[in-house]
C-alpha cells in the first residue's frame, strides 16, 4: 500500500552491533531461483588482506547466506578516526577478500577489523528513525603486515533481534537478482538507490512512501518476503515511472479480491505479481503467516469481485500470462522478464487496460490465447468471449 499522510518522529538510536562467529549448520541461500547478481566487488588488491563471510538466521531458524551485504575494512587508530582501508560486498556464498596497503601511517602493520552493513550501492535497509544501516563489527586483529591476512571466519549478527534487518536485506537481494539490468530501472544512466526502513520496534508501516521514495516495514514484516517485496514493487514502479506514480483513487483501504479503481487495481495489482515473479510462488503472505492463493481464483470464486478494477484480477492476469500452471482459459506461458517487464519499462502505463494496449504496440501476444488468460481472471477486453 501507499503511505497515508502524517508526520514521522526522528531520533538517533545506534545501529551498531557485534558480528559474532556463526554457529550451527553451514548457511544456504534462501532464494536460489536466480544467480546472484553482484552489487559491487568482493575483492580488492593490496599487500595485506582481510577475509571472511557473513550469514544470518532467518525467521524459520535456518542459517542463510548473506550475499551482496556491504563490507568495510578499517585500521583501528588508538588516537581515534579509524582509517577506511577497503570496501566491497560479499559474493554469492557470502564471502569477501579485501586487500589494502600493509603499512599504516605510524609505520607498522594495520590493526584490522571488518564491519558488515545492510547497505550497498544499490539498496539499503536502515533504521526507521536513525536512517542509518545496521552495522556489525568484528574484533580487531593487530599488526596485519605485508603478505598476511586477517581471517575473520564466518560471522553473523550478535543480536538475534537484528537478524530481521539482514533477512529484509536478503529479501531485497532476491529482487535484485531477478530484476533485469544494472539498475532497478534498466533505462537509468545513474542508478537510484533503494531505501527500506525497518526497526526492531517499528510502528511505521507497512507501506511505500512516494514523498521520500522509501519502503516502511513493521517489526515483524521481514518474516514474510512476499509482504516486503510487495511494498518494494511499489518502489520499483515509482523508480521506473520517474516519480510520476499513477493516480490510485479509492485505494485506502484496499483488498486483493475487492473492487477499488482502475488506478488502484493497477498499482496494487502490479506490486504483488512483482513479488510472485521474484519468489516463484503465486501466493501473498502476511507477517503472521497467513496466506492467500492469488492464482487460482476465477469466475464465481466466493468473495472475489470481477473486472480490471479489482487488484486480484489484475495480478491474476499478469501471473497467468507467464506461468506454466495453466488451467481453464489460461493457455499462456512466456518469459516475464522479456515481455511484461519490457512493456512495463517502456510505457509507464497508468492502468491495466493501458498496459494491455501498450503490450500490443510492443508486438507481444494479445491474441485470443492471451485474451483467454485475462478472461480466466474475469477481465474481458476486445469483446472476448470463449
Closest to 14 in 3D by CA, of 160, 103, 127: 127
The verdict on 123 and 233 lying in the same domain is: no
What are the b/e assignments for 254-267, b being 16+ CB within 10 Å?
bebbebbbbbbbbb
Q: Are 186 and 345 in contact (CB under 8 A)?
A: yes
Instruction: Return the pLDDT at 77.
Output: 86
Tell me if the bond preceding 215 is cis, omega within 30° of 0: no
Closest to 23 in 3D by CA, of 51, 56, 52, 68: 56
Asked, for residue 380, whether it belongs to a domain, the answer is no
Q: Provide the domain limits for residue 135.
A: 16-159
Alpha helix stretches (DSSP H) within 72-197:
163-178
Alpha helix stretches (DSSP H) within the chain:
163-178, 225-240, 262-279, 311-322, 340-347, 352-361, 368-375
Q: How many domains does the chain have?
A: 2
Q: In the chain, which stretches have pLDDT less than 50? A: 5-12
Instruction: Return the pLDDT at 292.
Output: 97
The verdict on 151 and 269 lying in the same domain is: no
Q: Are strands 135-137 and 207-209 parallel, antiparallel or unpaired?
A: unpaired
Instruction: Return the pLDDT at 4.
Output: 57
Asked, for residue 5, whether it belongs to a domain, the answer is no
Instruction: Return the pLDDT at 280.
Output: 96
The verdict on 91 and 145 lying in the same domain is: yes
The verdict on 107 and 210 lying in the same domain is: no
d(CA 155, CA 173): 19
What average pLDDT does the chain have?
A: 95
How does pLDDT run across 310-336, given as a tens digit for each residue?
999 999 999 999 999 999 999 999 999
Asked, for residue 4, whether it belongs to a domain, the answer is no
Amino acid at each position: 500500500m501507499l503511505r497515508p499522510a502524517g508526520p514521522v518522529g526522528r531520533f538517533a538510536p545506534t545501529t551498531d552491533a557485534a558480528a559474532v562467529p556463526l554457529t550451527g549448520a553451514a548457511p544456504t541461500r534462501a532464494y536460489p531461483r536466480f544467480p546472484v547478481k553482484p552489487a559491487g566487488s568482493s575483492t580488492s588488491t593490496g599487500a595485506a588482506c582481510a577475509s571472511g563471510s557473513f550469514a544470518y538466521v532467518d525467521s524459520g531458524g535456518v542459517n542463510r547466506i548473506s550475499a551482496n551485504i556491504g563490507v568495510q575494512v578499517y585500521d583501528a587508530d588508538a588516537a581515534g578516526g579509524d582509517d577506511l582501508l577497503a570496501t566491497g560486498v560479499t559474493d554469492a556464498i557470502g564471502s569477501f577478500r579485501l586487500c589494502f596497503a600493509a603499512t599504516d601511517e605510524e609505520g607498522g602493520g594495520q590493526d584490522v577489523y571488518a564491519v558488515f552493513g545492510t547497505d550497498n550501492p544499490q539498496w539499503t535497509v536502515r533504521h526507521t528513525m536513525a536512517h542509518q544501516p545496521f552495522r556489525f563489527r568484528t574484533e580487531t586483529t593487530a599488526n596485519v603486515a605485508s603478505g598476511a591476512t586477517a581471517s575473520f571466519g564466518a560471522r553473523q549478527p550478535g543480536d538475534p533481534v537484528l537478524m530481521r534487518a539482514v533477512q529484509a536485506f536478503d529479501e531485497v537481494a532476491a529482487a535484485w537478482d531477478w530484476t533485469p539490468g544494472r539498475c532497478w530501472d534498466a533505462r537509468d544512466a545513474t542508478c537510484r538507490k533503494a531505501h527500506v526502513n525497518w526497526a526492531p520496534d517499528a510502528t511505521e508501516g507497512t507501506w511505500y512512501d512516494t514523498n521520500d521514495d522509501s519502503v516502511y516495514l513493521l517489526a515483524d514484516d521481514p518474516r514474510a518476503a512476499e509482504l516486503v517485496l510487495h511494498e518494494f514493487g511499489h518502489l520499483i514502479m515509482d523508480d521506473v515511472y520517474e516519480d510520476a506514480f499513477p493516480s490510485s483513487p479509492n485505494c485506502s483501504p484496499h483488498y486483493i479480491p475487492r473492487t477499488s479503481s482502475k488506478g488502484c487495481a493497477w498499482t496494487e495489482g502490479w506490486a504483488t505479481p512483482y513479488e510472485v515473479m521474484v519468489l516463484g510462488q503465486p501466493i501473498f503472505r502476511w507477517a503472521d503467516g497467513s496466506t492467500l492463493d492469488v492464482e487460482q481464483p476465477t469466475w464465481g470464486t466466493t468473495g472475489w469481485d470481477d473486472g480490471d478494477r479489482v487488484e486480484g484480477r489484475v495480478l491474476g492476469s499478469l501471473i497467468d500470462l507467464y506461468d506454466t500452471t495453466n488451467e481453464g482459459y489460461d493457455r499462456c506461458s512466456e518469459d516475464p522478464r522479456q515481455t511484461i517487464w519490457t512493456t512495463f519499462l517502456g510505457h509507464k502505463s497508468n492502468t491495466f487496460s493501458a498496459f494491455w494496449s501498450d503490450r500490443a504496440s510492443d508486438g507481444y501476444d494479445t491474441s485470443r490465447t492471451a485474451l483467454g488468460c485475462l478472461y480466466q481472471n474475469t477481465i474481458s477486453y476486445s469483446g472476448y468471449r470463449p
